[in-house]
């Protein structure tokens, strides 16, 4: 019983405020109901290159578009550098980190659409288009009254378009002042399951909720190693990244070694109280 109480004290000592939402935007929001701007279609993608300085759990993307017909796709792709062009025609294998489809507002307006992915520090591009990922519509990207937000410049925008008859290529700077938005949270790493910027006991309930589930996994569901499932391997990864100094508060005579305490917390999280007590007797005896 003493071990359970100590674990609860440690958990309470690690309660922290949630990490602030990170919002990246290419340009200011202009007036709604605009009617002139570059097209977004199966033959003309629009994109914005951006950089992340820390591991980030993206939750949604958006911008300022106006629907003409049907739906579009939004995709985040990896780049080799911030000034690099997207690889492939249009996308090379392994560069698409996440994609979704959405219906832009009509008339033009600000929008957000869910897009969940975990991105390592590096350079990426957010692309809007059609003709892939089950998107088949067309839209217009608003540009009036939308000053770029530093460090975005006209060279930050990329476009997949026809450059010669029946020849398509990625180009840069064809248009300017298009509003793209990426929303997420900077996280402490792949074991920061609750995305609060800290690895601590508050991550365990997220891992417990995702344990053994069949839904697509991810950091926010407790999948630390990115293998698409939530299991004991992910808990052990969390255990190894748990800040060791914080476990050193009680005396050695009061609490078992940190690894023993973590295993006990695993049993407690899964609701096996009797098993926890048996495990303690084995460790202490």
Q: Could you tell me which residues come within 8 angstroms of residue 167 by beta carbon, excluding any fewer than 6 positions away?
A: none
The pLDDT score that the predictor gives to residue 214 is: 62
Q: Could you tell me which residues come within 8 angstroms of residue 282 by beta carbon, excluding any fewer than 6 positions away?
A: none
What is the spatial distance between Cα 136 and Cα 129, in angstroms, rounded to a whole number? Answer: 9
The pLDDT score that the predictor gives to residue 193 is: 81
Residue 279's SS3 state is helix
What is the spatial distance between Cα 79 and Cα 77, in angstroms, rounded to a whole number? Answer: 7
Cite the DSSP H helix spans in 102-221: 204-210
What is the spatial distance between Cα 179 and Cα 173, in angstroms, rounded to a whole number? Answer: 14
Listed as own residue / partner, the contacts of 5-9 with beta carbons closer than 8 Å and 24 or more positions apart are 6/250, 6/254, 6/255, 6/261, 7/201, 7/261, 7/264, 7/265, 7/268
The CATH architecture that domain 21-185 belongs to is: Sandwich (2.60)
Identify the sign of the CA torsion 82, 26, 120, 245: positive
- For residue 71 the two structure tokens come to 């739906």
Q: Could you tell me which residues come within 8 angstroms of residue 151 by beta carbon, excluding any fewer than 6 positions away?
A: none
pLDDT tens digits, the chain, 285 residues: what are they? 444 433 333 333 333 345 568 999 999 999 999 999 999 999 999 999 999 998 999 999 999 999 999 999 999 999 999 999 999 999 999 999 999 999 999 999 999 999 989 899 999 999 999 999 999 999 999 999 999 999 999 999 999 999 999 999 999 999 999 999 999 998 877 888 887 878 888 988 988 888 887 656 678 888 888 787 899 898 888 888 876 554 444 444 444 444 445 555 555 555 544 443 344 443 444
| Domain boundaries defined on the chain | 2-18+198-284, 21-185
pTM of the complete model beyond 0.75: no
The pLDDT score that the predictor gives to residue 192 is: 83
Residue with tokens 């070694």: 257
């Amino acid at each position: 019983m003493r071990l359970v109480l100590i674990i609860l004290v440690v958990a309470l000592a690690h309660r922290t405020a949630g990490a602030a939402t990170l919002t990246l935007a290419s340009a200011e929001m202009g007036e709604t109901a605009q009617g002139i701007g570059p097209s977004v279609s199966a033959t003309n993608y629009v994109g914005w290159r951006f950089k992340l300085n820390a591991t980030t759990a993206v939750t949604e993307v958006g911008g300022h578009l106006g629907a003409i017909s049907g739906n579009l796709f939004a995709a985040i792709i990896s780049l080799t550098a911030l000034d690099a062009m997207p690889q492939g025609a249009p996308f090379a294998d392994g560069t698409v980190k996440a994609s979704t489809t959405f219906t832009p507002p009509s008339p033009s307006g600000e929008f957000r659409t869910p897009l969940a992915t975990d991105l390592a520090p590096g350079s990426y591009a957010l692309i809007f288009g059609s003709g892939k990922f089950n998107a088949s519509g067309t839209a217009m990207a608003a540009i009036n009254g939308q000053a770029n937000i530093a460090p975005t410049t006209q060279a930050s925008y990329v476009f997949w378009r026809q450059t010669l008859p029946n020849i398509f290529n990625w180009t840069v700077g064809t248009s300017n002042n298009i509003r793209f938005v990426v929303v997420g949270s900077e996280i402490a790493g792949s074991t920061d399951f609750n995305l609060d910027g800290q690895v601590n006991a508050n991550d365990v309930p997220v891992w417990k909720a995702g344990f053994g589930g069949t839904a697509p996994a991810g950091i926010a569901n407790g999948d630390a190693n990115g293998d698409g499932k939530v299991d004991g391997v992910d808990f052990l990864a969390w255990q190894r990244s748990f800040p060791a100094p914080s476990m050193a508060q009680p005396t050695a005579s009061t609490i078992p070694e940190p690894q023993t305490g973590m295993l006990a917390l695993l049993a407690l999280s899964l609701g096996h109280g009797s098993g926890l007590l048996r495990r303690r007797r084995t460790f202490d005896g």
